[in-house]
């Protein structure tokens, strides 16, 4: 977990590789659907372009079917999910139904100014439709309102591992591995 621009996607791939599990990024799946012009993509795009969350039901169904794929049988890393309380509840049910359990909730901490700078830079490089300044501001707001409170929910379960997300990609990666290696795996 972490605000837009915290580096979740970059670090998720490295962590997933380290543990030999797939990185499942809801943002990437939505973008692939948008690019492919699927009905899911057409629906998701309306929300994404405005910096709003895609409705829970749509997102939950998508994650449920993705974690049922064979490559997720031994575990998985979720990037960008859950983002709302309703998604937390739904994920609990999915995890139980598949016989898994959550081992850790990794939180990448970064300050807001650093994040806006990163996102504007990414906009120049990747040209994502949701990386304009207004939409970035909205995404940060939605994160603070809907997603940040989830950290408390998982902290109460003793699952939160917090890592400073500022610094070079490699440095952050080392911090993450160090922090996660001390977490018992199910
Ligand atoms: P970032 O973390 O940089 O905001 P993502 O690639 O994770 O970007 O997500 C991009 C967009 O996809 C979000 O702004 C939102 O519209 C949609 N999205 C991704 N994950 C979720 C989710 N769990 N629930 C609802 N919408 C989501």
34's CB contacts (< 8 A; 6+ apart) are: 41, 42, 44, 45, 48
Determine if residue 59 is left, alpha or beta; phi over 0 gives left, psi from -120 to 50 gives alpha, anything else beta.
alpha
Distance between Cα 38 and ligand 1 center (Å) = 17
CA of 47, closest atom in ligand 1: 16
Distance 27 CA to ligand 1 centre (A): 5
Q: What's the pLDDT at 123?
A: 84
Question: Which pLDDT tens digit goes with each residue over 126-145?
Answer: 878 788 888 888 999 999 99
Higher pLDDT, 7 or 22: 22
Q: Are 59 and 51 in contact (CB under 8 A)?
A: no
Extended strands (E) in the chain: 23-25, 77-79, 105-109, 160-164
Confidence of residue 186 (pLDDT cuts 50, 70, 90): low
Distance 28 CA to ligand 1 centre (A): 8
Q: What is the pLDDT of residues 66-93, one digit of tens each?
A: 999 999 999 999 999 999 999 999 999 9
For residue 37, pLDDT beyond 70: yes
Q: 87 CA to middle of ligand 1, Å?
A: 13
Which positions are annotated as active-site residues? 8, 83, 122, 128, 139
pTM score > 0.95 for this model? no
Is 100:70 a contact under the CB 8 Å cutoff?
no
* Gap between the terminal Cα atoms of the chain: 20
C-beta of 116 in contact with ligand 1 (< 6 A): no
The answer to whether 164 and 107 have CB atoms below 8 angstroms apart is: no
CB of 81 sitting under 6 A from ligand 1: yes
Q: Whose CA is nearest to atom 18 of ligand 1?
A: 27
In this structure, the residue with its CA closest to atom 6 of ligand 1 is 27
Ligand 1 binding pocket includes 2 (Cβ within 6 Å): no
Give the chain's largest Cα–Cα span: 43
Q: Is 47 in the pocket of ligand 1 (CB under 6 A)?
A: yes
Q: Alpha carbon of 133 to those of 128, 129, 139, 140, 146: distances in Å?
A: 12, 11, 10, 11, 20
């Amino acid at each position: 977990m972490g605000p837009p621009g915290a580096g979740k996607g970059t670090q998720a791939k490295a962590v997933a590789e380290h543990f030999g599990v797939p990185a499942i990024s809801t943002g990437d799946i939505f973008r692939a659907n948008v690019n492919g012009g699927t009905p899911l993509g057409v629906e998701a795009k309306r929300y994404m372009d405005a910096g709003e969350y895609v409705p829970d039901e749509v997102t939950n169904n998508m994650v449920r079917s993705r974690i049922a794929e064979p490559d997720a049988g031994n575990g998985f890393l979720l990037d960008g999910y859950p983002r709302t309380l309703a998604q937390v509840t739904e994920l609990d049910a999915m995890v139980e139904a598949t016989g898994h359990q959550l081992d850790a909730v990794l939180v990448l901490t970064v300050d807001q100014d650093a994040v806006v700078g990163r996102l504007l830079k990414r906009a120049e490089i990747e040209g994502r439709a949701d990386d304009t300044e207004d939409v970035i501001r909205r995404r940060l707001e939605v994160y603070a309102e809907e997603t940040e409170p989830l950290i408390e929910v998982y902290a109460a379960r003793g699952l939160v591992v917090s890592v400073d997300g500022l610094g070079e990609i490699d440095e952050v990666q080392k911090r993450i591995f160090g922090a996660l290696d001390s977490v018992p795996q199910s």
